[in-house]
Homo-oligomer: A and B are copies of this chain.
C-alpha cells in the first residue's frame, strides 16, 4: 500500500533523458567559465583526461579514458595541435601509434584550467552529500554495464 510512487518513476524513462540534459548543462557551465581560454568542451575535457593519464599516452588510450571513439577524438586532437596546446610524436617502437604531450604553453593553460574547473565543480556538486554522489557514481557504472549488455543482446547476441 504505497501511497506515493518512487520518485524516479515520476521521471519514468526520462531518467536517461535527465542524464543527457544534466550532462549538457554541466559541460555548458564549465565551457562558459573556461571561455576566456579559448577552449571548447571537447578540448578542455581531452586536456583534463590527458593530464590524469600522464603525458605520452596514445590516442587510443585517451579515447578509452574519455569513453569516446577514435574518430571523435581525432578531430579534437587536431584542434589542440593547431592551438599548440598538445603535440603528437610518433612512437619509435610502434610506428602506427602517436603519443600525446602538452607543449610548454599547453601546460600553463592546463594550470589555469584546473583552477577554474575546481571552482565550477564545487558549484555543480553543491548541496549533494558524499553519500549521494557515491550512490550516483555507482548507479551510473551499473547502468553503463547494463546498457552495454543490453546492446550486445540486441545486436549480435554472440
Asked whether A19 and B17 contact (CB < 8 A) given A143-B125, A150-B120, the answer is no
Central interface residue in A66, A67, A132, A136, by most chain B CB within 10 Å:
A136
How many angstroms between the C-alpha atoms of A17 and B19 in the bound complex? 10
When distances are taken between beta carbons in the complex, the residues of chain B under 8 Å from A22 are: 16, 19, 140, 143-144, 147
Contact with B along A24-56 (1 / 0, CB 8 A): 111111001100000000000100110010000
Q: Which residues of B contact A82 (CB under 8 A)?
A: none
Which of A3-11, A88-96, A101-109 touches B?
A: A3-11
Given known A-B contacts A17-B45, A142-B127, A143-B124, A25 and B151 have beta carbons under 8 A apart: yes
Docked pose: A29 CA to B8 CA in angstroms: 20
Contact of A146 among B126, B143, B154 (CB under 8 A): B126
Separation of A13 and B140 alpha carbons in the complex (Å): 14
Bound: A78/B151 CA distance, A: 28
Residues of A in contact with B, size category: 35 or more
Q: Which of A22, A48, A124, A148 has the most CB of B within 10 A?
A: A22
Q: Which residues of B contact A139 (CB under 8 A)?
A: 128, 132-133, 135-136
Asked if A84 CB lies within 8 Å of chain B CBs, one says: no
Whether the Cβ atoms of A137 and B29 lie closer than 8 Å is no
- Asked whether, in the complex, the Cβ of B146 is within 8 Å of the Cβ of A7, the reply is no
Residues on B with C-beta less than 8 A from A153 are 123
- Known A19-B23, A66-B17, A148-B25; judge A135-B137 contact (CB<8 A): no
User: Given the complex, which residues of B lie within 8 Å of A150, measured CB to CB?
Assistant: 29, 33, 120, 123-124
